[in-house]
Amino acid sequence: MTDSAAHFDIDLNDEGLLRLIARGDWRARFLRPIDSALRDFADDSVGRDIIIDMTGVERLDTAGAMVLQRTFQACQSRTDKSQFVGAEEAHIELLEQIEHHLAPCHVEPQRRNAFLVMTERLGEGVANAWRATLELQSFIGKILASAFSLIFRPSHVRTRATVHHMEAAGLDALPIVGLMSFLIGAVIAFMGARILQLFNAEILTVQLVGISVLREFGVLLAAILVAGRSGSAFTAQIGSMKIREEIDAMRVLGLDPIEVLVLPRVFALIIMLPLLAFCAAMLGLTGGGLVAWLAMDIPPALFVAQMEETIGINNFWVGMIKAPFFAFIIAVIGCFQGMEVGGSAESLGQRTTLSVVQSLFLVIVIDAFFAMFFLEINY
């Protein structure tokens, strides 16, 4: 008898029952091509009576018997019409032995010590954070090297792209930054006045608003809003180009993505964030002065005079000095996360979220560093 690969046909018998006609060699090495087809057939025929005709089966081993028995048990209904026909005596014996060993094997999930799992996740988090820090430092080095090279190649400066990002990341952000700063200044003045009234020291609201807005809240609020608005936009823009392989196309054309995509965004944010911080500080003072005028009867002229007498210009410069550092780190992280996007929309969403979180975290860290530094030098 000549062996042939396992195969089967499906038809209906005279009584309208499904009939699976098995032919050929039903041993393990011949079953792979038809296994998925048999599974699909079993899924489509659940609960129907079936007759498996084994007249044409030339050889049968344990694997073949398991496949046939699995199909039979998946399809058969509660009636007695389902059966095997045409099988040799040895094949029937093998099918009977396999019948009781097809129960699904429920694997108990591995139980691990909760402390070890927590320690493992903590270790992975620390390792990933260290790896990301090294990659970010490397990316900053590439940016600084590329920026330094532009000193000797001024024609390579992307002026038009820089101006475009100055408008998109800076000028377009002015309304929301200005509104939030105005409201924050008003809230600080109102809350400060409520407390200072208890000590008959309402006039000190001027110092409270002036120092807090000029030194901290003006530049910090501007940086936070820009990080959430423009930093995430940088990641999304560059990440989309990465998914569409436009960055690879740039490299093929001999263009440096750092020079073309990253530096214009970094330059634009370094230029515009100090201006936004200045506008935020002025509008914050305006909001605080308006509340002082309406709620405490401190006229604008007295408010300005009190500021000139008691608040030094150094408080203004403290806020302005921090702005370029905030801008640099926001732009760098936004572009870095964009360059790290994989080939899926899910990766783009994860990197955009990570860009905002890391930018806000580092802005707060840098702000705390500057606060301690200026406190130490008494400035």
Closest CA to 10 of 38, 47, 35: 38
More confident residue, 26 or 202: 26
Task: Report d(CA 307, CA 286) in Å as an integer.
Answer: 12
* pLDDT of 2: 45
pLDDT > 90? residue 272: yes
Range of lowest pLDDT (43-47, 81-85, 148-152, 356-360):
43-47
Q: What is the mean pLDDT of residues 152-174?
A: 90
Mean of all residue pLDDT scores within the chain:
86
Residue 265: name the closest of 325, 323, 219, 332 by CA. Answer: 332
Confidence (pTM): 0.69
Find the mean pLDDT for residues 110-136.
88
Q: Which residue has the higher pLDDT, 379 or 318?
A: 318
Residue 117, pLDDT score: 85
How confident is the model at residue 258, as a pLDDT?
Answer: 92
Q: What is the pLDDT, as a whole number, of residue 329?
A: 95
What is the per-residue pLDDT for 162? 92
3-state secondary structure of 99: helix
Confidence of residue 94 (pLDDT cuts 50, 70, 90): confident
Q: Which amino acid is at 240?
A: S
Structure tokens at 284: 């914050």
Contact in structure between 330 and 270 (CB atoms under 8 Å):
no
pLDDT-based confidence at residue 377 (cuts at 50, 70, 90): confident
| Cα-Cα end-to-end distance for the chain | 100
pLDDT score recorded for residue 106: 61
Closest to 195 (Cα-Cα) out of 212, 208, 181: 208
Query: What does the pLDDT look like over 338-349, one tens digit per residue?
Result: 999 887 888 888
- Evaluate if residue 120 carries a pLDDT over 80: yes
User: Quick one: DSSP state of residue 12?
Assistant: E
Q: How many CA atoms lie within 13 A of 163 on its CB side?
A: 3
What the block records as the tokens of 53 is: 């005709």
As a whole number, mean pLDDT of residues 34-50 equals: 79
Tell me the per-residue pLDDT of 168-217, one tens digit each, with 9 for 90 and over. 988 899 999 999 999 999 999 888 888 887 787 778 888 888 889 998 89
pLDDT of residue 286 exceeding 70, the answer is yes
- Ranges of each domain in the chain: 7-99, 130-376
- DSSP labels, 159-197: HHHHHHHIIIIIGGGHHHHHHHHHHHHHHHHHHHHHHHG
Polymer length in residues for the chain: 379
Q: Side by side, which strands form the sheet with 7-12? A: 7-12, 18-26, 50-60, 83-85
pLDDT tens digits for range 62-83: 888 888 888 887 776 555 677 7
Q: What gap in Å lies between CA 30 and CA 34, rounded to an integer? A: 8
50-60 and 83-85 beta bridge pairing: parallel
Separation between Cα atoms, residue 59 and residue 4, nearest integer Å: 9
Architecture of 7-99 per CATH?
A: 2-Layer Sandwich (3.30)
- Give the mean model confidence (pLDDT) for residues 89-98: 83
Helices 313-339, 232-243: axis angle to 10 degrees equals: 20
Looking at residue 104, its pLDDT comes to 61
Residue-level pLDDT at 105: 58
Output the pLDDT for position 143.
93
Residue whose token pair is 């792209």:
161
